[in-house]
Amino acid sequence: MTRVMVIVGSVRPGRIGRPIADWVTSDLLGVDGRDVDFVDLAELALPFMDEPNHPLLRQYTKPHTLAWSERVEAADAFVFVTPEYNHSFSPALKNALDFLSHEWRRKPVTFVSYGGASAGTRGVIALKPAVVALGLVPTLTNVEINFPGSFLSDDGEFQASDTHRSRLQLALAELVALAEALRPLRELAPAR
Ligand SMILES: Cc1cc2nc3c(=O)[nH]c(=O)nc-3n(C[C@H](O)[C@H](O)[C@H](O)COP(=O)(O)O)c2cc1C
């Protein structure tokens, strides 16, 4: 069983990230062998990084950090559902990443990005150095959604196109394969 954590990277009221992440989750749950932990950063409500020690030391002092650490540790792979804000990534997502270190290491991540003409790709490009610095391994295939508002139903549900669906299936297949390939490396003593 591969435990996939889906993270809703935007936190503002009315964000489209939530219906997109709901769609991702329903497609993920449709396949045997995948277990999902759904994390809405608006509900998780982490404060701005407030730990006194570098996360590499794992000397966490706050209950919210300990709980977040345990949850991320239990995941084998990640889907970041992320908007593009001013040609970059969501600050809430970066904050959630910065809280931890080893917990992310040698695990794969795929991105479901969205925005205007760029489909959020500039945000993903900006985010990649940070995820690589943490030892996360990005997939080759990502899902990129242009003007996502045009895919919302009247009741606010994201209605994925065939292209969105096939890209997501490709990305998830790669994500799960990478999680298995990386598993032996996770058992090695972690480098600093
Ligand atoms: C602060 C802010 C900055 C944005 N900057 C960009 C941008 O640089 N490129 C883009 O394509 N869309 C940009 N947008 C539009 C967002 O992609 C769009 O509003 C999207 O719905 C935001 O995701 P969210 O609804 O999950 O918060 C921006 C939106 C906000 C609120």
Cβ neighbours, 10 Å, residue 21: 25
pLDDT, position 63? 98
pLDDT tens per residue, range 70-108: 999 999 999 999 999 999 999 999 999 999 999 999 999
Token couple for 128? 């990649």
Q: Does the reported pTM lie above 0.85? A: yes
Of all protein residues, the one whose alpha carbon is nearest to atom 27 of ligand 1 is 15
From CA 135, how far away is CA 78, in angstroms rounded? 13
Is the predicted pLDDT of residue 26 greater than 70, yes or no?
yes
Instruction: Provide the pLDDT confidence category of residue 189 given band limits of 50, 70 and 90.
Output: low
Atom of ligand 1 minimally distant from the CA of 15: 25
Torsion of CA 14, 121, 112, 73, to 10 degrees: -100
CB contact at 8 A, 55 and 99: yes
From CA 18, how far away is CA 93, in angstroms rounded? 14
Q: Which residues line ligand 1 (CB under 6 A)?
A: 10, 12, 15-17, 83-87, 115-116, 118
Q: Which of 60, 76, 155, 79 is nearest to 124 (CA)?
A: 79
Concatenating the DSSP letter of every residue in 99-145 gives: T-SGGGTT-EEEEEEEESTTTTHHHHHHHHHHHHHTT-EE-S--EEE
pLDDT, position 27? 85
Q: Percentage of residues in the chain with pLDDT exceeding 90? A: 91
pLDDT, position 191? 60
Domains of the chain: 2-186 (3.40.50.360)
Atom of ligand 1 minimally distant from the CA of 116: 11
Name the average pLDDT for the chain. 95
As a whole number, mean pLDDT of residues 111-115 equals: 97
Instruction: Provide the pLDDT confidence category of residue 30 given band limits of 50, 70 and 90.
Output: confident
Ligand 1 center–CA 83 separation, angstroms:
6
**CA-to-CA dists, residue 181 to 11, 36, 76, 174, angstroms:** 33, 19, 11, 10
Report the SS3 class of residue 88.
Answer: strand
Is the predicted pLDDT of residue 34 greater than 70, yes or no?
yes
Pick the more confident residue, 27 or 30. Answer: 27
- Mean pLDDT is lowest, of 17-31, 79-93, 103-117, 170-184, for 17-31
Of all protein residues, the one whose alpha carbon is nearest to atom 1 of ligand 1 is 85
Atom of ligand 1 minimally distant from the CA of 83: 23
